[in-house]
Amino acid sequence: MRLYKSRSSYTTAPRPSRSADGARYHGRSRYKVAPSARSEQARSGWRDSEKLSKAKRGLPVFLAFCVVLGMVLPVFFGQVRRVMVPDGETVVHIEATQKGTAWSGRLTFRLNGAQQWTGSMVPYEVFVRPGVYTLTVTGGGPPDARLLSVAPVGSQLGRAAETITFTAEFAAP
């Protein structure tokens, strides 16, 4: 039982041309295209289309310039300052080095002490309550490198308005 026609059973009658086909549909249409009363030039207000395209190309550059200027000016006029440590808090700074040079990237760690804290990127800073803290590295680091040590070894006492720094040292691959 065949549910489809073979290629040989289709007729190959000549198809009407597109212009004749379009005329047939155009004749039936109730809608007509109104002629443009004004040209593009009169509508946009620009006399020269080349100047219009230059203005359109320059707009993103101008907007980027304005954004950068808006970000830089407050720094020059002293309106942006480094945030100071809140009263009674300790700053814990966690960083990583590879062969003595600073490294930044994915490093999973856990900060234990008066407060528990976890993170996954270095360098990292967190404000915590004063107390004794230790750092445990649980994964990550530079590709193909192994963890040598976490300095300082053991715990550190964090006092109010002080900074504690932990450094994870990695060996070269």
Q: Which secondary-structure segment (H or E) carries 132?
A: strand 131-140
Residue 49 located in a structural domain: no
Overall average pLDDT of the 101-112 stretch: 93
Distance CA 130, CA 87 (A): 11
Kindly compute the dihedral angle of the four CA atoms of residues 117, 118, 122, 123, in this order, to the nearest 10 degrees.
Answer: -10
Residue 15 located in a structural domain: no
Over residues 109-125, the pLDDT tens digits come to 999 998 898 999 999 99
- Look at residue 37 and tell me whether its pLDDT is greater than 60: no
Residue 112 located in a structural domain: yes
- Look at residue 85 and tell me whether its pLDDT is greater than 70: no
Indicate the average pLDDT of the chain: 78
Task: Give the range of the structural domain holding residue 149, as residue numbers without chain letter.
Answer: 93-170
pLDDT reported for residue 165: 93
Residue 147 located in a structural domain: yes
Residue 53 located in a structural domain: no
Over residues 21-35, the pLDDT tens digits come to 555 555 555 666 666
pLDDT reported for residue 137: 94
How many domains is the chain built from? 1
- Look at residue 94 and tell me whether its pLDDT is greater than 80: yes
* Residue 126 CB partners (closer than 8 Å, separation 6+): 91, 92, 94, 111, 117, 119
Residue 120 located in a structural domain: yes
Residue 74 located in a structural domain: no
Tokens of 33: 């295209």
Residue 149 located in a structural domain: yes
